[in-house]
A and B are shown apart, each in its own frame.
Chain A
């Protein structure tokens, strides 16, 4: 199988290490990965702000660059959800629709397609998992606390394969961090407060690292941690799963 690597705009620009870790991890697991050079953005920031009618350019670019792959994998739950629900193309409508089914967020690709059973990874630290909302409630990466259904967690499942890693409990297991796209600046007061509360929950339970599948959330919480001059760091799950030594 050939996998196309989709690296969301802000990951590309601000968190290249998470992208590198994603690439290396997939290759370690025997996947043939290619990164099409002309990619930009999935269009989510515009769409969530009410400007979905402007995302045609992004959609065409995405469809064109990724249509030839068997799967498309991205280290971002929210981008993947957006593509799964909204990708369309005037020029190649069929390709766009079939791409919706081929796009996977990294964690779910590992569990549902590669069926990873063990990882040669080591990360001897206390780690808190932030369940980013789109990945959680959109992609169903873990069970949602509101529902009366059996529990499960795909990120938790993978992290439990990492040597030395201790997963901490949280008081509120899946409350939103408050990033929300343009919400983070348009409703700054509430956004910051939500972020502070999320961070406080992790700190209270002794996290050394906060991880998750979405760097947008992590970037927001990192901003708060740095402002608080905290030693706690954020790290994308790809970097943990790819770590050794």
Chain B
């Protein structure tokens, strides 16, 4: 396979990531720690499994009645004084944001965390159009300065060590060279971003939950950055995926109890801000974005991926994610959930992701809304093979293996003749090095197979 810098797949990127073993250990331990915090919070919540089932059922209902909920939400939001926009795809979403900025004669914006805007590549679009965007979430600001995408949907710079962050801040925020104390660095970011909040007239936030019953939406942060931006801006734009709706206000109780415990192990984020009406004198906009969600909704095997509340628990528990890093998934959303969402957008580009898994099933167990993630990974594999997105070499190997397995005599002969594994999956041998052999000894072939032993020993007894 050609090593194209831009087109490297998960396996190639993970290989690079694994060259620094101590760093992999650090990344893995850090995320496992977050998984443990989640476990502690879950085990401390006596009705945890009931909560998951309830949330799952609520989201099942939402997906089955989504058009009505969308209409209801829109009507209520408009009544509240919010202007509602609809965007078919990321490009349209970006144009809408830009047009709002132009309407107000503004070319600078402060943004709080929104994975949807990552998906739409909003920052790049605005930058190309002469608009400066400053990400106010500390982790997002760090990756923005580093000119990288976030590697995790909740912990954007989990892949960065404090010394590296210190170097970035020294270059861009004027902190002392070699300063790596998180307290000092955070204080520097606080001062730097405070000025941003005080001077930007337009603030964009994401949406954690939107309530159809009341036309309000909730934004959850620990830092308070969404509120600092929105309450000081003349214009508040909120971007949301259409699947973020929940039916009634009271359902927030279910989701707010699950979200942060699943994400970081905290009982709730510091701020859960309920936005219903603009501040007097302020304009509020909400952009409802499709970007492939309606297509996913129509895929019976995969529609449940739309239940996702973006907690990141699946990433923290995934043994593959922890040892390959979010950037190996070359997608806005990485990890298990990213791997079942992305192929819907572009099967060719993301064909590698559903295979970046051992199907261990841990993700499905931590998912607060009970998405059958590992089952969907298996099902995507079948789809991708059928659609021809798997290498022809692998396909040939699989067909040969099938043929061998359907004929007992041939199987016995083949087993006896050599390792089926190596002989019938040529892509293994066609690599410069036998990949198994890189870090592992081969299993020692025994004198005889079980079937031979049985035929010999048990025939003796029968006689």
Contacts and interface: CB of A to CB of B under 8 A. Distances in A.
A192 B406 CA distance: 31
Nearest to B319: A176
Given A12-B449, A148-B49, A172-B32, A223 B442 contact: yes
A54 interface: yes
A199 B359 CA distance: 20
A50 B402 contact: no
Contact of B355 (A9, A149, A187, A224): A187
B358 A148 contact: no
Interface string A44-67: 011111111111011011000000
Contacts of A145: 39
B49 A149 contact: yes
Interface stretch (A31-39, A119-127, A204-212): A31-39
Contact of A148 (B45, B381, B438): B45
Nearest to A144: B365
A9 B394 contact: no
Interface in B15-68: 15, 17-18, 21, 24, 28, 32, 39, 42-43, 45, 48-49
B299 interface: no
A224 B440 contact: yes
B323 interface: yes
Contact of A193 (B39, B323, B403, B428): B323
A102 interface: no
Contacts, number: 222
Q: How large is the interface on A (under 10, 10 to 19, 20 to 34, 35 or more residues)?
A: 35 or more
A19 B378 contact: no
B362 interface: yes
Interface string A78-89: 000000000000
A12 B454 CA distance: 10
A184 B15 CA distance: 13
B361 A227 contact: no
Given A55-B402, A185-B428, A178 B450 contact: no
A15 B444 CA distance: 9
A157 B359 CA distance: 26
A187 B420 contact: no
Contacts of A174: 362
Nearest to A55: B402
A52 B381 CA distance: 9
Interface residues of B, number: 78
A49 to B, nearest CB: 6
B401 interface: yes
A223 B442 CA distance: 6
B384 interface: yes
Given A12-B415, A35-B458, A50-B390, A133 B435 contact: no
B14 A189 contact: yes
Contacts of A138: 361
Given A50-B381, A172-B32, A178-B319, A196 B439 contact: yes
Contacts of B383: 50
Contacts of A180: 357-360
A41 B405 contact: yes
B453 interface: yes
A130 B185 CA distance: 42
Contact of B438 (A40, A136, A192, A194): A192
A8 to B, nearest CB: 10
Given A15-B446, A186-B11, A61 B408 contact: yes
Contacts of B394: 49, 182
B443 A223 contact: yes
Nearest to B354: A50
A169 interface: no
A227 B441 contact: yes
Given A148-B45, A187-B355, A193-B323, A223 B406 contact: no
Given A54-B399, A187-B320, A190-B18, A40 B382 contact: no
Contact of B28 (A14, A197, A220): A197
Contacts of A28: none
Nearest to A137: B361
B439 to A, nearest CB: 4
B125 interface: no
A185 B408 CA distance: 26
B323 A194 contact: yes
Indicate the member of B32, B355, B419 with the most A CB atoms within 10 Å: B355
Interface string B195-235: 00000000000000000000000000000000000000000
A223 B440 contact: yes
Indicate the member of B18, B39, B357, B451 with the most A CB atoms within 10 Å: B451
Given A51-B398, A183-B357, A223-B442, 7 more contacts: A12-B449, A23-B454, A41-B405, A46-B402, A133-B361, A146-B42, A148-B49
20 contacts: A16-B449, A19-B453, A49-B355, A49-B394, A50-B355, A54-B399, A133-B360, A148-B42, A176-B319, A178-B319, A185-B436, A186-B355, A188-B15, A190-B324, A191-B358, A194-B319, A197-B28, A220-B440, A223-B442, A226-B440
